[in-house]
A and B are shown apart, each in its own frame.
Chain A
Amino acid sequence: DAGITQSPRYKITETGRQVTLMCHQTWSHSYMFWYRQDLGHGLRLIYYSAAADITDKGEVPDGYVVSRSKTENFPLTLESATRSQTSVYFCASSEGIRGFFGPGTRLTVL
């Protein structure tokens, strides 16, 4: 099926561990985004990418790393997870302004 997928959908990890959240889109959209959603904050942009090998920081990039070697994939890595990174993470893609969102990954850092 065409669309945008995220994996895993749920993840529990411990403080200090490295975690990678995967995002894959089938449309070949140029832009891809990572957001985190926390109660009271809405969605906050972590990183975004305008094309393969082009990434840029969003509003809350600290503690996260991204890469985009292929247009369709945009993984997000938490290098050393902290409890404050417990959140729901959404990946999105865009081609022509409108955003398409994945189903989200619920990450719990113990």
Chain B
Amino acid sequence: SQQGEEDPQALSIQEGENATMNCSYKTSINNLQWYRQNSGRGLVHLILIRSNEREKHSGRLRVTLDTSKKSSSLLITASRAADTASYFCATANFGNEKLTFGTGTRLTIIP
């Protein structure tokens, strides 16, 4: 079964607005990662947050992690048309590097 579930499944916003996606997971994790997938392409790693971290930033990306609620959020600020893609969270457990992915959020930025 999927470890992560993203919410919402699909999101459409105007260019320049902020986009927020959420991820919930089921078991204890070592870290949580976010990936982007453009249509017809492979996944690209965006950002990683470890289980002992609560917030992390990378450029226009902000990730939060709440291990007590087993949830994470990805915020993309000042969205651009090029941000149109599917976004996946992935979790890794302690002791191995196996990544378990959620079902993804399809983000559409309207110019």
Contact = CB atoms under 8 A, between A and B. Distances in A.
Interface of A: 30-31, 33, 35, 40-45, 48, 50, 58-59, 90, 92, 94, 97-104
Given A42-B2, A104-B42, A99 B102 contact: no
A101 B43 contact: yes
B88 A94 contact: no
Chain A interface helix/strand/loop/mixed: strand
Given A43-B101, A94-B99, A102 B42 contact: yes
A33 B45 CA distance: 15
Interface of B: 1-2, 30-31, 33, 35, 40-45, 48, 88, 90, 92, 96-104
Q: Which of A41, A99, A104 has the most CB of B within 10 A?
A: A99
Nearest to A101: B42
B46 to A, nearest CB: 10
A45 B42 contact: no
Contact of B98 (A42, A45, A100): A45
B98 A58 contact: yes
Contact of A42 (B31, B40, B92, B101): B101
B61 to A, nearest CB: 15
B99 A99 contact: yes
A40 B33 CA distance: 20
B104 A42 contact: yes
Please name the 5 residue pairs, one residue from A and one from B, whose CB atoms are nearest each other, closest first.
A101-B42, A42-B103, A43-B101, A101-B43, A31-B97
10 contacts: A42-B88, A45-B100, A50-B97, A59-B1, A90-B43, A98-B45, A99-B33, A101-B44, A103-B42, A104-B42
